[in-house]
Amino acid sequence: MSTPSTKSWSSCQLIRKAWGDEILVFNTASGNTHLVNRLAAKVLEFIDAGAITSIAIADRLAAEAGVSPDKELIESVESVLASLDDLGLVQPQRQ
């Protein structure tokens, strides 16, 4: 695994709606709507709450699950962040 990114992220202006296990995310800037899984929705939630790096997000996910964060979890978070970036739902913050 490569070194976890210290890149900071912010979410775009989003409206979320959940129906059971399905979460729809509407990007008010682009007008696009996306169906995301629970992990992606949690990542967006944590970014909005101030957990803006993959490590911070993995720490919060692990804490909720009562486990320690590991490399696999951090890699999963980084993969989700890359997908959300591709969809235009998050963006790297300028440092």
- Mean confidence (pLDDT) of the chain: 88
Three-state SS at 4:
coil
23-61 pLDDT, tens digit each: 999 999 899 999 999 999 999 999 988 878 999 999 999
Strand partners, 10: 91
Asked if residue 95 belongs to a domain, the reply is no
Quick one: CA torsion of 66, 58, 50, 63, rounded to 10 degrees? Answer: 10
pTM: predicted TM-score of the whole model, two decimal places? 0.84
Alpha helices in 1-95 (DSSP H): 38-48, 54-65, 71-87
Asked if residue 77 belongs to a domain, the reply is yes
Number of domains in the chain: 1
- CA 3/CA 19 separation, integer angstroms: 36
Give the helix/strand (H/E) hosting 22: strand 22-27
Asked if residue 3 belongs to a domain, the reply is no
| Domain enclosing residue 69, as ranges | 11-88
Asked if residue 20 belongs to a domain, the reply is yes
